[in-house]
Amino acid sequence: MSEDKSRHHAAEQQTADVSEAQIAVHWPEEDYFSPSNQFIAQANLADPGVFARFSLDNFPEYFKEFADLLDWYKYWETTFDASHPPFWRWFVGGRINACYNCVDRHLPRYRNKTAIHFVPEPENEAIQHLTYQELFVRVNEFAALLRDFGGLKAGDRVTLHMPMVAELPITMLACARLGVIHSQVFSGFSGKACGDRVSDSGSRLLITMDAYSRAGELIDHKQKADTAVMEAAGTGHQVDKVLIWQRYPGKYSSPTKLVEGRDVIINDVLKEFRGKRVEPVQMPAEAPLFLMYTSGTTGRPKGCQHSTGGYLAYVTWTSKYIQDIHPEDVYWCMADIGWITGHSYIVYGPLALAASSVVYEGVPMYPDAGRPWRIAENLDVNIFHTSPTAIRALRRNGPDEPAKYNFHFKHMTTVGEPIEPEVWKWYHTVVGKGEAVIVDTWWQTENGGFLCSTVPAIHKMKPGSTGPAIPGIHPVIYDDEGTELPGGSGRAGNICIRNPWPGSFQTIWKDPDRYVSQYYSRYCHDPASKDWRDWPYMAGDGAVQAADGYYRILGRIDDVINVAGHRLGTKEIESAALLVPDVAEAAVVPVADPIKGKVPDLYVSLKPGLVPSVKLANKVTASVVSQIGAIARPRRVVIVPDMPKTRSGKIMRRVLAAISNHQDPGDVSTLANPEIVEQIKELAR
Ligand code: WT7
């Protein structure tokens, strides 16, 4: 290839190459920090022998240890079935109920122990402490309602669009008790986004709440249900009932009217189910437990389908040994249950271990940056779990707040994005008061639970790096040509996992082809192979492994932007912009942000003859917010006369990204319209 041609070729690769990702993280390797002897002495896992036990030679049987943490109605016959790669099946033949494992089985010992501390956002509202007994009662009554009033049975899907309230885990567990597949949509997502998911999952029932508190405001949430039902109807899918929880029982807190014959206030109907008990349904290990929609490279979100037995085994083991959760711990994960982190590490993992799990309704900074630490002090939280975005915001707005409160964490987690070493050190010194261990856990919606992390009592911590893989996970880094990079090479490539694991999603709902093509095709050399070794899982992240075996995640290699630890597809945002009739083309690029890690910048060009205006830019923003939700709001909308394009007409997002990030766009001479770059620079100043 001539130099010119190869340059052209590289330019056309756009966002799909690793060097792009490498822009994201470039800090040097840091010194280690050690866990305290006090932590090690009480840890659930301190025996380094675990790694030999979980070596690839012992795959797949070592995962039996995960499933043995659960109670099974019927023990499985086959630990791992690889007969239809890459549709792996775990604990085949086993029968289990997830709700039973998270609630019923704890009653003999922990009946009167708090299962859920619900912390309302308004600080003058009392914290609610739900014991395991109370949780049992409420889950049973609601399961009875879902079955006898809602007509739901095992295998049906139901969409939840609920805020962070105790009723959310209650609803999830009631579904799990019946074998009903729940699909919780993040409450911040728009009604339209919810409607798409209702329709894709084929949910006849939508469960929501009238209102909830956010940043000091009681938000009308029920209105989104109306939009969702309409949106679903537009795709030819009918919703029969909308079940509405009342944020304040006995009082309807939304100005949005109820729709006759469709909308039902749960709190009213629930009275008929008082004292009702529902036998947990003995589900096959392989039955889906829930769907979790996430963004990918196309405009259509994918419903990641998670299993019952494999998933629950995976989150229980990782909660016990990576989160170091003991039943007597008070554990607070500040994520939203609407994301996978909340499913795995607020609800299923901690409750399977009989811990007390905190559910906080509001934003961390309300009414001030001391709020999380008052909650921690009040509830005696000793395990804390959050994202770099939240840590950055708390550090900026209240660097000295943690010292004012009497709380002591033994263990803290960071998840969702790379964390800058100086932010990590503030977390360690100020929030952790130098006493807490930190795990930086790397994983994804598709994975069910952690893939990489230090084992807190065994490994030292290294700020800015996640750690080695957890026991049982065996990563490999490939370059773009599919050549394996030597372990510890310090070179960037695409991180993959060599072996299947029980927490991994089973498929994309209604789209098995996409499941194969997105995650397994690229590095599988023999699509006919029945050997799992030929099917590495491609995560879609760039990564390097240092000589000590620790991985550093560099960021997405595809068209996904990680905003505040939440995944957004650039295509979804672009599609929303294109709904504005004046817009001809749209391109979204990630911009580095001091708090949120990344935020989207949206470039649009207009149809011929149209004149740019602030009004039009606002219209584009409004379309993004109504289509997806406020989390996708672009930092700004830049209206350009034309997009930078390759000669084959592809938009060069890389050039736009460089402009937005005040970086050198490099050589643009091979573009079809190189002169546009200077003009865009002016406009995007
Ligand atoms: C993407 C997955 C599952 C947790 C919440 C996000 C990025 C996740 C880390 C980390 C650096 C991280 C990756 C990944 N990511 N954890 N510890 N360090 N990057 O789940 O929405 O599915 O996003 O988040 O890029 O692919 P998600």
Q: How far apart are CA 244 and CA 274, in angstroms?
A: 18
Q: How far apart are CA 40 and CA 352, in angstroms?
A: 23
Q: Is residue 2 scored above 80 in pLDDT? A: no
Which residue of 27, 295, 392, 442 sits with most ligand 1 atoms within 8 Å of its CB, as the best mutation to test the pocket? Answer: 442
Q: Is residue 667 scored above 90 in pLDDT? A: no
Q: Considering only CA atoms, which residue is closest to atom 20 of ligand 1?
A: 444
More confident residue, 34 or 30: 34
* Share of residues in the chain with pLDDT > 90 (%): 88
| CA-wise closest residue to 606 among 625, 628, 581, 631 | 581
Cβ atoms of residues 565 and 571 within 8 Å: no
| Ligand 1 atom closest to the CA of 553, numbered from 1 | 11
pLDDT at 299: 78
CA of 300 to the centre of ligand 1 (A): 19
pLDDT at 648: 79
Cβ atoms of residues 281 and 177 within 8 Å: yes
330: helix, strand or coil: strand
C-alpha distances (whole Å) from 395 to each of 399, 414, 548 are 5, 14, 30
Give the residues across from 220 on adjacent strands. 211
Of 23-32, 126-135, 422-431, the one with minimum mean pLDDT is: 23-32
Which residue of 556, 559, 562 sits with most ligand 1 atoms within 8 Å of its CB, as the best mutation to test the pocket? Answer: 562
Q: How far apart are CA 504 and CA 515, in angstroms?
A: 12
Which residue's structure tokens are 């800015």?
464
User: Which residues, other chains included, contact 513 with Cβ-Cβ below 8 Å and sequence gap of 6+?
Assistant: none
CA of 109 to the centre of ligand 1 (A): 36
User: Which residues, other chains included, contact 685 with Cβ-Cβ below 8 Å and sequence gap of 6+?
Assistant: none
Name residues contacting ligand 1 (CB within 6 A). 294, 340-341, 415-418, 440-445, 466, 539-541, 553, 555-556, 562, 565-567
pLDDT in tens, 86-116: 999 999 999 999 999 999 999 999 999 999 9
Q: Considering only CA atoms, which residue is closest to atom 6 of ligand 1?
A: 416
Three-state secondary structure of 581-611: CCEEEEEEEEEEECCCEEEEEEEEEECCCCC
pLDDT at 413: 98
Of 291-295, 312-316, 501-505, 555-559, the one with minimum mean pLDDT is: 555-559
Q: Considering only CA atoms, which residue is closest to atom 17 of ligand 1?
A: 442
Q: How far apart are CA 10 and CA 646, in angstroms?
A: 11
* Share of residues in the chain with pLDDT > 70 (%): 96
Indicate the residue type of 411: H
Mean pLDDT of 190-199: 97
C-alpha distances (whole Å) from 539 to each of 79, 406, 443, 597 are 24, 40, 9, 20
Which residue of 441, 443, 518, 519 sits with most ligand 1 atoms within 8 Å of its CB, as the best mutation to test the pocket? Answer: 443
Q: 383 is written with which tokens?
A: 């395990």
pLDDT at 207: 99
Angle at 412 between CA 411 and CA 413, to 5 degrees: 135
| Ligand 1 atom closest to the CA of 443, numbered from 1 | 3
More confident residue, 660 or 299: 660
pLDDT band at 7 (very low <50, low <70, confident <90, very high): very low
Q: Considering only CA atoms, which residue is closest to atom 1 of ligand 1?
A: 444
112: helix, strand or coil: coil
pLDDT in tens, 249-266: 999 999 999 999 999 999
pLDDT at 11: 32
pLDDT band at 26 (very low <50, low <70, confident <90, very high): low
pLDDT at 22: 42
C-alpha distances (whole Å) from 426 to each of 420, 444, 454, 461 are 10, 25, 19, 14
Where would I find the H helices in 308-417? 309-321, 340-342, 349-352, 371-379, 388-397
357: left (phi over 0), alpha (psi -120 to 50) or beta: beta
Q: Is residue 129 scored above 70 in pLDDT? A: yes
| Ligand 1 atom closest to the CA of 453, numbered from 1 | 17
pLDDT at 27: 67
Q: Is residue 6 scored above 50 in pLDDT? A: no
Q: Considering only CA atoms, which residue is closest to atom 23 of ligand 1?
A: 444
Q: How far apart are CA 475 and CA 539, in angstroms?
A: 10
| CA-wise closest residue to 478 among 467, 464, 465, 491 | 491
Average pLDDT, the chain: 94
CA of 344 to the centre of ligand 1 (A): 14
Q: Considering only CA atoms, which residue is closest to atom 21 of ligand 1?
A: 567
Which residue of 18, 306, 322, 417 sits with most ligand 1 atoms within 8 Å of its CB, as the best mutation to test the pocket? Answer: 417
The dihedrals phi and psi of 314, each to the nearest 5 degrees, come to -70, -45
pLDDT at 16: 35
Q: Is residue 18 scored above 60 in pLDDT? A: no
Q: Is 662 exposed, middle or buried (0-12, 13-18, 19+ CB in 10 A)?
A: exposed
More confident residue, 12 or 362: 362
CA dihedral 389, 390, 391, 392 (to 10 degrees): 50
Q: 56 is written with which tokens?
A: 């690839």
pLDDT band at 649 (very low <50, low <70, confident <90, very high): confident
Indicate the residue type of 401: E
Q: How far apart are CA 397 and CA 211, in angstroms?
A: 28
CA of 501 to the centre of ligand 1 (A): 18
CA of 541 to the centre of ligand 1 (A): 9
385: helix, strand or coil: strand
Q: Considering only CA atoms, which residue is closest to atom 24 of ligand 1?
A: 416
What is the maximum alpha-carbon separation in the chain? 78
Which residue of 553, 558, 559 sits with most ligand 1 atoms within 8 Å of its CB, as the best mutation to test the pocket? Answer: 553
Angle at 670 between CA 666 and CA 671, to 5 degrees: 90
Q: Strand 128-131 to strand 157-161: parallel, antiparallel, or no bridges (unpaired)?
A: unpaired
The dihedrals phi and psi of 491, each to the nearest 5 degrees, come to -100, 145
Q: 74 is written with which tokens?
A: 């019927």
Q: 95 is written with which tokens?
A: 């029968």
Helix (H) or strand (E) holding 545: strand 537-545
Q: Is residue 24 scored above 60 in pLDDT? A: no
The DSSP letter of residue 651 is B
CA of 442 to the centre of ligand 1 (A): 6
